[in-house]
Amino acid sequence: MSIIGQSWGRYPATEQIVVPIRDRHASLPVSDASMLPYGNGRSYGDSCLNHGGTLLHARGLDRYIQFDPLTGILKCEAGVLFSEILGLVVPQGWFLPVTPGTKFVTVGGAIANDVHGKNHHRAGTFGCHVRAFELLRSNGARLLCTPSENAEWFAATIGGLGLTGLVTWATIQMRRIAGPWMSAEVHRFENLEGFFEISEASDRDYEYTVAWVDCAAKGRSLGRGLFTRANHAPACPDQRPSSPARRLGVPFVPPLSLINPLTLRMFNALYYHRQRRPVIHATMHYEPHFYPLDGVRDWNRIYGPAGFMQYQCVVPPNEARRAIEQLVRIVAGAGGGSFLAVLKQFGEQRSPGMLSFPRPGATFALDFPNKGENTLRLLDRLDSVVAAAGGAVYPAKDARMPGRLFRQYFPAWESFTQYIDPRFSSSFWRRVME
């Protein structure tokens, strides 16, 4: 069955055979084409695509194997979604150790991209909480990988973009919580300097920190935005929690992108000024705190048929202020800015992953409607800032970074290649190896 495979950015368009995987004991399908595991398609670019090859659709590996409510250790198949795990563990007093901004990712995808979240400065990446997994290779070998057993395979597979083989199951350490509530504060900051001040003041006492930046603002307001910091709240919070919002959806792909310079400037200004007071406190359910966009089903359709491109980079601490300011200036100058501009400081904790993206410094995520050459040129300009600062770009969100820059950003790529399964490949990997 050949289908047009899509990643979350709806760009690029590719075609591949999709083979459903439902039985973790079964061997991999036999085919001449190259294979790549595919979870729930939430990677933005082409790292989850394999044009002209086969996708091993592992979402069917959705069984739990064991959960111990005393220790919080979960063993499950690799196609289980974070949303399903939350449904299982939150009522039993546990939470995901690390979660990205969507709960619709699989465990296998989270390992392959070594995902991070708002608590990176405290907890590191998802890979830091993986205790073990099984790696199924195309030659039929099944490797039990832990930090001490097959340790080099463990390191290569965490952040290994699915290229080392198929992860069939994994064991993950959950984090204790008292209940589903979050106690959060939102601080308005006037400019980038304001962000770095509040970020440094917050990282010690707040488990989750992240900022939204108004990328349309210029001049003295350059880099203004809203800084959110939060902790898990006690079981019975002092403040009555607000009720969760209704779930909306984008029922079809509009013929044109609804995101254009005018709507962007309006949205950014409205969003920034919606909050009149410099600080607000709120007790809320974890869902709107962690997953505001999951409340709008298929939100990626608002960018129209051409899709969109994400750009997430990290720049080292000593270069962060200067580089982020340059990036915001380029985006603001390009007109319109970015609908979602997210800024956060990563912590020092190292991931076991060989090709892991997070590293100490400030990370900045942007998205742009795909306008072909114009967008690509803009992203090239961002790259020149990131490369000069000694930073890196996140493969899970990329559809265009030049191979030479990937190899500069991820110097471990060369030793990584020996762990790639000879029958595995991806559109991303072929692109950055050119």
Please report, as ranges, the residues that interact with other proteins according to CB under 8 A.
1, 20, 22-25, 63-67, 76, 88
- In whole angstroms, the minimum distance from the beta carbon of 335 to other proteins comes to 40
* Cβ-based nearer residue to other proteins, 1 or 70: 1
Single out the residue of 64, 48, 61 nearest to residue 16, CA to CA: 48
- What single letter denotes the amino acid at residue 42? R
Least Å from the CB of residue 416 to other proteins: 32
Instruction: Classify 210 as helix, strand or coil.
Output: strand
CA distances from 227 to 290, 343, 354 (A): 14, 9, 31
Distances in Å between the Cα of 45 and the Cα atoms of 86, 204, 309 are 26, 34, 7
Closer Cβ to other proteins, 65 or 245, answer by number: 65
* DSSP secondary structure letters along 265-289: HHHHHHHHHH--SSEEEEEEEHHHH
Q: How far is the CB of 3 from other proteins (least distance, A)?
A: 10
Radius of gyration (Cα) for the chain, nearest Å?
Answer: 21
- Numbers of helices and strands, H then E, in the chain: 12, 21
Q: CA-CA distance, 182 to 286, in Å (whole number)?
A: 6
Residue 23 vs 152, nearer CB to other proteins: 23
How many residues make up the chain in this entry? 434
Nearer to other proteins, 23 or 348 (CB): 23
Residue with smaller CB distance to other proteins, 74 or 331: 74
Residue with Cβ nearer other proteins (1 or 270): 1
Q: How far is the CB of 63 from other proteins (least distance, A)?
A: 4
Q: Which residue, 88 or 296, is less far from other proteins as judged by CB? A: 88
Report how far residue 137's alpha carbon sits from residue 114's, in angstroms, rounded to the nearest whole number. 20
Question: Nearest approach, Cβ of 25 to other proteins (angstroms)?
Answer: 6
Instruction: State whether residue 212 is helix, strand or coil.
Output: strand
Please report how the helices 373-388 and 320-333 are oriented relative to each other, as an axis angle in degrees rounded to 10: 160
Q: In angstroms, what is the minimal distance from the CB of 252 to other proteins?
A: 13
Query: Which DSSP helix (H) or strand (E) runs through 36?
Result: strand 35-38
Sheet holding 308-315, edge to edge: 279-285, 181-189, 225-232, 208-213, 342-346, 361-369, 308-315, 392-393
Q: Nearer to other proteins by C-beta: 62 or 207?
A: 62
- CB of 23 or CB of 149, closer to other proteins: 23
Task: Return the number of the residue (252 or 277) whose C-beta is nearest other proteins.
Answer: 252
What are the residues facing 144 on neighbouring strands?
134
Q: Minimum Å distance from CB 84 to other proteins?
A: 10
Tell me the H-state helices in 105-178.
Answer: 107-112, 120-123, 151-157
Q: How far is the CB of 185 from other proteins (least distance, A)?
A: 36
SS3 228: strand
Shortest Å, Cβ 38 to other proteins: 16
Sign of the dihedral through C-alpha 291, 67, 90, 248? positive
Task: Supply the minimum distance, in Å, between the C-beta of residue 301 and other proteins.
Answer: 17
Q: Which is nearer to other proteins, 22 or 122 (CB)?
A: 22
- Maximum CA pair distance of the chain? 61
What 8-state DSSP symbol labels residue 153? H
Q: How many CA atoms lie within 13 A of 275 on its CB side?
A: 21
Name 106's bridge partners. Answer: 81
Residue 376 beta carbon to other proteins: minimum distance, rounded to whole angstroms: 34
